[in-house]
Structure 1
Amino acid sequence: MQKLQNILDARRLARISVTTGMFQTSYQPSSGTFSAEAQGALVEVLKFLSAQVSPLMVNVYPYFAYAADPANVQLDYALFTAPRPVVQDGGLRYQNIFDATIDGFYWAMESEGVTDVGVVVSETGWPSGGYGNFTTRN
């Protein structure tokens, strides 16, 4: 990432953000951690973003959580239609998995000692074709 940023800086394109993929695991948002495989690299990425005063860009796809575990992830929780909180984490209540996922990223970053990097959602969505609840209706 630093090499890419150096090239952008040299070409007077410093306003272009450099991004990379990552994987985060958590159930309760306050238990958010980065995977062991990605942790070392992510800490370096977070330090880089902190120095650049740039946000962490994340892709949040609620349907991945639902598709992976439909028995335990309620459809209305994934679709922003839950009539009441589905997950309670301490004093926080979550009616949708999207908000819980974003908070999980903040908790994971805090567990690595990073508190000055914002989180921006760069991609999200729900599939419009396929099987089961992956339809245009949802």
Structure 2
Amino acid sequence: MKSFEDILRKNNLKITKGRLALLNLLYSSHVPMNTEEIYEAVDKKSLPSFTSLYRMLNELTEKNILKKNLYHNGLYYFEFANMGHRHYIVCDKCGKISAIENCPISEFENIAERETGYTVTNHIVELRGICPDCQKDK
């Protein structure tokens, strides 16, 4: 992946410690993170306020550097936009999120286009269940 500085420059965004810390955190994460999780994990010297975090997330999403991928428990979850097309399964008990790498929806999109005349531009699928750890706790 390009350096975060190059990504910010290319998108005419100022290179700041906060943006770099945010991008590094999300790049290191294997699953999308919500605003509260990001704020909890990021260095407060680099990103001192929720207001700054929200502003950065919105800017980076508008520039298609990040994407809002899930809407769970009233919260949006963010990840890098170029991480590929993935879906997730969310545990109903503990909230753990796991990625599902393969997407079987393309055939369904073709059917939907044929039946409706629409051109499918995107889809969002969220599966819910009980994770293996919570199943053990029964």
Q: Which has the higher contact order (CA 8 A, sep 6+)?
A: 1
TM normalised by structure 2 equals: 0.25
Of Structure 1 and Structure 2, the greater strand share is in 2
TM normalised by structure 1 equals: 0.25
